[in-house]
Structure 1
């Protein structure tokens, strides 16, 4: 009897095998339909279907093929493995910077995320990505351990001039650093004075930098030295739910920031 690893290798060595099993796990198909869907020759299909029948992964009824219960199980498991490896490939270069200790999210939910990294020609690409998301957002939520000057300017413009609503929770260290910068202090003060803007300060700190622009969650990723390495953003429902729950928690455990502190 072949080992599980040998069975995985058997499937992985042929895209046609993977596709035929997936098709038959979804629905019944004739041999002609399988040929049209995969582009495989009749000889290749014959070998694939014979191998699958030998493993009891499929059965033939009235000229059609269908996956058995174990065939569907194998198809589902192999599809999950492919999705995991595809996600790993997308995140491989940035996973070391992801604040996974603070993210109660299955990394598979980031399979379709947009990963933005700096380059020689676009060193500010991760920040520009969040600026693009903020550009037409109507509802903005931020929880972060740091301020970004460009993001503050974009949020201020959206709230003061564009009618957006803003809520932010920041660590005490971020607020103190902002207060020491005259230009940022003035810009942030004008944001705080807006009718639909509110900011709270969390003394316990916040271990990540997240922006929720309408339905998109954006994370700025920095290394242990604070150097910007990448950003990740997604509109996945599970990630949005996590971000909203996390924001709500930080909001409840923070205190309002008095706009008068930034009015001078």
Structure 2
């Protein structure tokens, strides 16, 4: 029987402090020694935690083992949901700030099951590798701010474009110029192929990619400019948002008639 329950605020504090024990008991009844071993806690800590949870009506001792009460089972489900949501929030942390000011508003809730690839110390090229794997599966490609997605994308998609990959790209003028200076021959080949269209926009919020089957967001480090994360999702709502966002920037962007430095400077001059 649940007796003398604390007020809501006190209960929340205790649940958060003892969440690991509640989660362990959610899987089934355990004796004190097993709890100590599984949670890597001392005998005194285990005693304190079980006593506190029992006093609040969350657990009870039956035949030498601790188990959740009916009330405790409800609380354990809430704890599990909270932990899952916190893990999702942590995974998507790189996304929150960059999409906060864009219109239309980003449907953040759609990204709960997104694939998040981050640049780790042991694998700094993870986001680029994820982008390349998705490029291999698509027949059309639209993106803006390619450096936030794949700084070397010219190497990665050059052959695909020449083979017929229809590609629309919006770049910031300095990025477009950098591409042309570093890949002059490839730029000429792409221009002649008629499969690549590029436009210029001087203010792009992050990297955005629309593949056939999903959309991706590329985020780069504000200080170094190096890709930090690539987040992709395939829900219809997320795609509709990305389509609208891309078309908005595409309509505002300056058309680049030819893919070489002279045409770039002419386009910049015409825009100013």
**Normalization by structure 1: what TM-score?**
0.64
Q: Distance in 1 between matches of 2:10 and 2:109?
A: 25
2:4 matches 1:4: no
Gaps of 5+ in 1: 21-40, 58-70
Give the whole-Å Cα distance in 1 for the aligned partners of 2:246 and 2:127.
21
Alignment coverage as a number of residue pairs = 218
Q: Is the 8 A contact 2:130 2:230 kept in 1?
A: no
**Match of 1:34?**
none
* More displaced 10-residue stretch of structure 1: 79-88 or 209-218: 79-88
Matches of residues 74-93 of structure 1 in structure 2 within 5 Å? 81-92=82-93
Q: Which residue does the alignment assign to 2:51?
A: none
2:18 is the counterpart of 1:14: no
Query: What is the aligned counterpart of 1:220 among 214, 218, 221?
Result: 218
Asked if 2 retains the 8 angstrom alpha-carbon contact of 1:145 and 1:209, the reply is yes
Higher deviation after alignment, 100-109 or 121-130: 100-109
Q: Residues 7-56 of structure 1: CA distance to partner in whole angstroms, max 9, x if unpaired?
A: 54559553488799xxxxxxxxxxxxxxxxxxxx998999633x379xxx
Contact residue 216 and residue 240 of structure 1 kept, 8 A: yes
Structure 1 equivalent of residue 162 of structure 2: 160
Cα drift, residue 248 of structure 1: 0.7
Distance 1:176 1:102, change over 3 A: farther
TM-score (norm 2): 0.63
Q: Which residue pairs with 1:192 in the alignment?
A: 191
Rounded Cα–Cα distance in structure 2 between residues aligned with 1:119 and 1:209 = 19
The 5-angstrom pairing of residues 96-135 of structure 1 reads: 99-103=98-102, 104-135=105-136
User: Unmatched 5+ residue regions in structure 2?
Assistant: 29-60, 264-272
Question: Structure 1 residue 234: deviation in Å?
Answer: 1.9
Taking the aligned partners of 1:229 and 1:260, their CA distance within structure 2 comes to 25
Quick one: structure 1 residues 192 and 224, their matched pair in 2 at CA, closer, same or farther if it must change by over 3 Å? Answer: same
Which of the numbers 234, 258, 263 marks the counterpart of 2:232?
Answer: 234
2:161, 2:190 within 8 Å by CA — same for their partners in 1?
Answer: yes
What CA distance in whole angstroms lies between the structure 2 residues aligned with 1:120 and 1:45?
42
Q: Give deviations 1:200-228, integer Å, cap 9, x for gaps.
A: 112x4212122222233333322222342
Give the 5 Å matches for 1:162-177: 163-177=164-178
Q: Deviations over 1:41-93 (max 9, x none)?
A: 998999633x379xxx8xxxxxxxxxxxxx9xx97x7676344312123245x
Alpha carbon RMSD of aligned pairs, Å? 3.8
